[in-house]
Amino acid sequence: MAKNFTDDIFFATAVEISARLKAKEFSCKQLTRAFLKRLETLGPQYNALAASLRKRALEKAGDVDDDLKIGRDRGPLQGVPYGVKDLLDVKGYPSTWGAQPYLRRVAEDTATVIRKLDSAGAVCIGKLAMVELAGGGGYSSPAASLQGPGLNPWDKSRWSGGSSSGSAAAVAAGLVPFALGSETSGSILTPSAYCGVTGLRPTYGYVSRYGAMTLSWTMDKIGPMARSAEDCGHILQKISGGDYEDPLSAGKTFYYQPKFAREFKTLTLGFAPVDFEEAAEETARPAFRDALDVLMRMGFRVREVELPDFPYGAVTGTVIDAEGSASFEELITSGRVEELADAKQIAGLKAGLEIRAADYLRAMRIRRLIQQAFRELFVDVSFLVTPTRMGPAPSAFEPFGQGEQEKHRPRSRGLQALIPAGNLAGLPALSLPCGFAGHLPVAICLVARPFWENTLLAVGAAFQRQTNWHRRRPPVSGPEP
């Protein structure tokens, strides 16, 4: 029997949806069909859908309904539909990595993270669009994707962010309750901020990359993009853990334990006033200041800090360019790299093969110094807070930087390079929607020492109990029932 669903379901958290399933308000097959129809109808409008997994999803939904009939509880994600970035393999389905040269690539196995979510009873309904090769080699505009530029559900003239463009747009538009993205240097945090969803970049090594496209084997991370910090905690618990198939796995499993969170009065918040007063775009400053005020009222000790002085951008670029071009060496040397959509990316991938071993090793030595500097910084602070991005989403149809006025250089470096710095150090980060600049969402970012996700999630959940920015919905019209 068909059932009509409203936005109260499409924009509910994963935890809320699973609870309603277990209360037998609807079946998992009914829910899955509704989300499939929404994803298949609206996904192309945002250039967010790479491939529907309808047949697999409905078979999985039937299995969930069978479990629910006999009272088998698989946890708070049971029966919840979700999507994955198109660099994660699902056996028998295409994984194009957002790029024309891999248009006919069909996965021979299923990624570890998807197998783990299968065991938790979650239902994967679609592959979501991405920037080609997760941005390897660098790219010049949002159009560097097989599906075209990712369009923001809050304003389709704006970018949904890269490289996990489809994952963020799909969650923001209520096409899936949560999605998996990947980050090498900003690809979970940036689209989460631009689209107004909650995004978690886990500690490096916490989540297996088996079955995922490799861009940078020493920096790639897989993580959730969802409606709430609470959802991110439950998702990370299910996808974390050691995996012999991933030789760089940390061999650790995350357990989401919000009831055992540290008292906030024992934690020290580190921030840089310059980030909120000068570095942030003027239209976004009121939202950022208000978010900082909310955090300040939560009882933390407070300390002003700034990042240690290192060339974060240059080091990040050298590591990713060298490792990325090595990963795609066959694509480059065969000449098929010319099929990519972005000329800058083609040139960047070719150039990456020319990076000298001495330069790569120098970058890795500096990276070790950066990791040590963060260890020393976290002696004095428990976590850092800064705007995730300094302003709202840019245009989806212009090259990056086009039309921008020359920006005022802030008086100090603050924490403005925290995305490349945090990725080099393998640190966890949580992006939280915190308001709007005009009609577009903006976000703040919390960063802590490795394996401190429970602290970040406890702070994020408390912030979201005192605000409702994560509950805001873009002006999306769904398909006809």
- Note whether residue 214 is domain-resident: yes
Domain span holding position 242:
95-103+131-165+174-397+412-475
- Note whether residue 18 is domain-resident: no
| Domain total of the chain | 1
Q: How many CB atoms lie within 10 A of CB 257?
A: 12
Max CA pair span of the chain: 65
Locate the DSSP E strands across 60-117.
81-85
- Note whether residue 70 is domain-resident: no
Which residue among the candidates 85, 116, 127, 238 is catalytic per the annotation? 85
Does the annotation count 249 as an active-site position?
Answer: no
- Note whether residue 55 is domain-resident: no
Instruction: Report d(CA 172, CA 165) in Å as an integer.
Output: 11
pLDDT at 406: 59
DSSP code per residue over 422-470:
HHHHT--EEEEEEEEETTEEEEEEEEESTT-HHHHHHHHHHHHHH--GG
Instruction: Report d(CA 181, CA 189) in Å as an integer.
Output: 10
pLDDT at 259: 82
Does the annotation count 27 as an active-site position?
Answer: no
Which residue among the candidates 141, 187, 192, 325 is catalytic per the annotation? 187
Which residue among the candidates 160, 163, 192, 240 is catalytic per the annotation? 163
Does the annotation count 395 as an active-site position?
Answer: no
- Note whether residue 21 is domain-resident: no
- Note whether residue 110 is domain-resident: no
| Ranges of the chain with pLDDT below 50 | 1
pLDDT at 260: 84
CB 55 within 8 A of CB 128: no
pLDDT at 1: 47
- Note whether residue 291 is domain-resident: yes
Crossing angle of helices 14-22/229-239, nearest 10°?
80
- Note whether residue 460 is domain-resident: yes
Q: What is the CATH number of the domain that holds 382?
A: 3.90.1300.10
Residue 131 corresponds to which tokens in the numbers above?
């920037």
pLDDT at 220: 98
